[in-house]
Amino acid sequence: MKRLLIGAAICCTLTATVTSCKKQTIEERTEVQEGSDIRRGQVPPNNDEGKVGDYYINETTYEIYGPKTAQGWGVAVKFGSAHNESSKIRSGAGAPSPNEGYEGDWYIDLENKVLYGPKTSNQWGTGISLGKNTNNGTNQTPDSELPNYRLSSDRTILLYWSNPKTQVLDMNQIAELANVETIAEGAFARKRALKKVTIGNNVTKFEGAVFEGDLYLEEIVFGTQGKLRAIDVDAFARCYSLKKVTLPNGLQQLGYNAFAECIGLKEVTVPSSCEAILGLAFEKCTALTQVTLNEGLQQIQEGVFKGCTALQKVVFPASLTLMGDNPFEDSSVTEITFKGDVPQMNGQFIPVNITKIYVLPAYLNNYKNSPHFAEIKDMIEPLN
């Protein structure tokens, strides 16, 4: 099997066509095969550049073109960002094995013209078609000819969004999608072009990993009817471009790992209808600085704010009755406010960087006498 390992697309000092007979670093360049070269530059390619079958990486925009056809380079597919500078692009004939490459790497299947990545948890995912594929279209296929979605037989479940070129979608503007009640697991996962989605007003549930790995998703607009009840595990995990999220009224539960590793996320608002935030919901949201937890929230589970290194303050509503194990592990939170009585602690409460805990005067003694706060009772002060 002929394979290629090339450096990260952002390494702008690397030039010239990159080809290889065997797995090796970009500095070692030899011929792969006619019409499968991987070229690179700082601007989009000219149509007179390269051979039919070649690929082209724009190092400025983190996009890949190809395989080139007789008609030209076609439409680019976004494949990376400044967040994965150490990532590498590999290639070979056939799909990659789970043992191939490292976390964050990408892989081009030259035989089937499919781009895989970024690799996470030893999984390459399903890949993005870069060439002719009757199910997904090609980069040269007009948008109007591409299939957009698949629904369940009763038309209430959106099973999959299949158009890889979609950038903006309003489910309410498409009659069939306006009636969808459930968005199935992974329905929009790893869509590299997707920037904004407006959720249908009749959607009541997100299953797991619905938008997982949508690196360029900037905005999610929830339905206005308040019907969404649950957002499941990994729903928005690794959506690097999300900046602000206002969860909808009516939501009752935010799932495990729901926004994990959303490294661009700065602000989150949780509505009063939400009763539970499950474990690691905001793990490694390293830009998160503002969290609004409204009255009505009853429990947060383990490690909810683990690794939130920009977060300084958190205010818990009076309705909070249960707190999971070590919610602030590896975070930078220094100040906590409890507006209610001592919640049940389901595990350890480790202060890490916490220096101040504010509570209402009516509950001051309860907190100071609680065994969970015994070692840090001197940090507890009455809230004015």
For 158, the enclosing helix (H) or strand (E) is: strand 157-161
Q: Name the pTM for this structure.
A: 0.66
For 368, the enclosing helix (H) or strand (E) is: helix 364-369
Count of residues making up the chain: 384
CB 360 within 8 A of CB 383: yes
- The percent of residues above 90 in pLDDT, for the chain, comes to 55
Q: Is 366 helix (H, G, I), strand (E, B) or coil?
A: helix
∠ Cα 79 59 14 (to 5°)? 125
Q: Which of 234, 230, 153, 243 is nearest to 199 (CA)?
A: 230
Question: Looking up tokens 């977060």, which residue turns up?
Answer: 311
pLDDT value for 316: 98
Please say if the pLDDT value at position 110 is more than 90. no
In sequence order, the β-bridge partners of residue 141 are: none
Tell me the per-residue pLDDT of 189-248, one tens digit each, with 9 for 90 and over: 999 889 999 999 999 999 999 999 999 999 999 988 889 999 999 999 999 999 999 999
Per-residue pLDDT, averaged over 8-29, amounts to 34
User: In this structure, what are the phi and psi dihedrals at residue 161, rounded to the nearest 5 degrees?
Assistant: -100, 115
| Lowest-confidence region among 62-66, 107-111, 267-271 | 62-66
Better-scored residue on pLDDT, 228 or 31: 228
- Rg value, the chain, Cα: 24
Distance CA 188, CA 116 (A): 16
**pLDDT category of residue 111 using cuts at 50, 70 and 90:** confident
Please say if the pLDDT value at position 94 is more than 70. yes
Q: Which of 307, 317, 285, 290 is nearest to 352 (CA)?
A: 307
For 178, the enclosing helix (H) or strand (E) is: helix 175-178
Buried b or exposed e, range 249-282, using 16+ CB within 10 angstroms:
ebbebbbbbbbbbbbbbeebebbebbebbbbbbb
The one-character DSSP state at 143 is G
Cis peptide before 343 (omega within 30 of 0): no
Distance CA 19, CA 41 (A): 15
Tell me the per-residue pLDDT of 126-185, one tens digit each, with 9 for 90 and over: 677 765 433 334 444 455 555 689 999 999 999 999 888 899 999 999 999 999 999 999
Please say if the pLDDT value at position 116 is more than 90. no
Tell me the per-residue pLDDT of 350-382, one tens digit each, with 9 for 90 and over: 878 999 999 999 999 999 999 999 889 999 999
Kindly report the CATH class assigned to 148-382.
Answer: alpha beta
Please say if the pLDDT value at position 119 is more than 90. no
According to CATH, where is 3.80.10.10 located in the chain? 148-382
What average pLDDT is seen over the chain? 83
